[in-house]
Amino acid sequence: MKKYAVFLFLAMIFGSKVFASDTEMCKNYLYSPTDSYFKYYVEGKELDCIAIMKTVHDGIESRDNAHFGDEHKDLDPLWELVYDFFKESTPSYIPITISYNNTSSFDWFDMQIFISANHAKGDKFSDTVVHESSHLALFKLTGGASNQDKFRFFDEGFAQIMGSKIYEDQVPFKQNSMRIAAEYIRDGKVSFAKIQDWKKFFGDPRAGYNSLDFESYDVGASFVYFVIDHYGEEVLYTFFEDIGKTKNLSLTVESILKENLSVVEAKWLKYVESYE
């Protein structure tokens, strides 16, 4: 009886770990602050968490309309905007939850988005829906790589650009991103090495960097604008797709942009500084 009682006690405390399904274990580990999440040796066995997550995604209801839920049928044009770039990587169904957090967010395991009440009005709502949905689509296109710390700069940068597409005049958004990025470059804050250390560049309280610098999104956007203006959106799509294969910025830059990383970095920084 004593052994049984002890077992019950431990099960009550650690039940989620003792009895957690492979899916739940992967979900917990995928949200931990690490990049090495493609395979885990968890609880004595190796789990291919990306494959498990794909099974979850495949089980999500497919929608031909009301892509954000029946209560948001009017937002379908926003889904179409995301689909125009990402095509089949765009989740067919993206549930929206209004949250009371200060910031909006996305859940790429269950393919849903959370819109802060601060962002839930007018154009800002539409902008944020597209922004967060783009994160999900890019996650699928890159096989999860876009959520790695070293690729978050273009993940946030492109999501910001996508969000700006809801506005008739997108030029002010581009000009603002370029102005901010140029200031960061003049201050010696920008390089691939620096921006790929996203927890330090943007901030992460869990990693000891307590202040969040949302202007980092503009710096990331400046690189995406550089790729679009020099190579075109089709090449950008291929760039993202290849990142999913290589998980390596240098290899993808050489393969898709046809120059080495240091040359592309110099061209990007010059492009930003000379932008008018």
71-101 residue pLDDT tens = 899 999 999 999 999 999 999 999 999 999 8
Which of 91, 206, 65, 82 is CA-nearest to residue 149? 206
Given 35, 58, 81, which residue is the final one in a domain?
58
For residues 187 and 237, membership in a common domain is answered with yes
Per-residue pLDDT, averaged over 174-183, amounts to 98
209 and 268 housed in the same domain = yes
For residue 46, the model assigns a pLDDT of 66
pTM here is 0.85
Separation CA 84–CA 66 (nearest Å) = 17
Would residue 63 count as lying in a domain? Answer: no
Q: How far apart are CA 223 and CA 239, in angstroms?
A: 12
φ/ψ of 189, rounded to 5, equals -95, -5
Task: Return d(Cα 3, Cα 222) in angstroms, integer.
Answer: 62
Q: How far is CA 3 from CA 11, 17, 20, 148, 221, in A?
A: 12, 19, 22, 44, 59
Query: Does 154 lie in the same domain as 218?
Result: yes
Segment 240-258 mean pLDDT: 98
Chain centroid, CA 159 distance in Å: 8
Residues 194 and 249 in one domain: yes
Residue 25 lies in a domain: yes
Q: Identify whether 124 is part of a domain.
A: yes
| Sign of the CA dihedral running 176, 83, 88, 58 | positive
Domain housing 125:
70-141
The answer to whether residues 74 and 115 belong to one domain is yes
Distance of alpha carbon 85 from alpha carbon 152, whole angstroms: 19
pLDDT band, very low/low/confident/very high, at 60 (cuts 50, 70, 90)? confident
Beta bridge partner(s), residue 156: none
- Tell me which of 32 and 100 has the higher pLDDT: 100
pLDDT at 204: 79
Give 272-276's long-range contacts (Cβ < 8 A, gap of 24+): 272/178, 272/181, 272/182, 272/185, 272/222, 272/226, 273/182, 273/185, 273/186, 275/178, 275/182
Number of independent structural domains in the chain: 3
10 shares a domain with 53? yes
SS3 112: strand
Residue 220 and residue 168 share a domain:
yes
Are 42 and 28 contacting, i.e. CB atoms less than 8 angstroms apart?
Answer: no
In a domain, 98, yes or no: yes
Q: Are residue 158 and residue 242 in the same domain, yes or no? A: yes
Domain end point (choices 109, 141, 173): 141
Last-in-domain residue among 141, 170, 191: 141
Kindly state the percentage of the chain with pLDDT values over 70: 83
Inside any domain, residue 33: yes
The answer to the question of residue 64 being in a domain is: no
Q: Which residue has the tokens 């995604």?
A: 57
**Residues 54, 96 within the same domain:** no
Please indicate, yes or no, whether residues 100 and 45 belong to a single structural domain of this protein: no
Q: Is the pLDDT of residue 14 over 60?
A: no
Indicate whether 154 and 196 sit together in one domain.
yes
CA within 13 Å, CB half, 22? 15
* Residue-level pLDDT at 108: 86
Residues 181 and 227 in one domain: yes
Q: What is the CATH number of the domain that holds 89?
A: 3.30.2010
CB atoms within 10 A of CB 43: 11
pLDDT of amino acid 146: 94
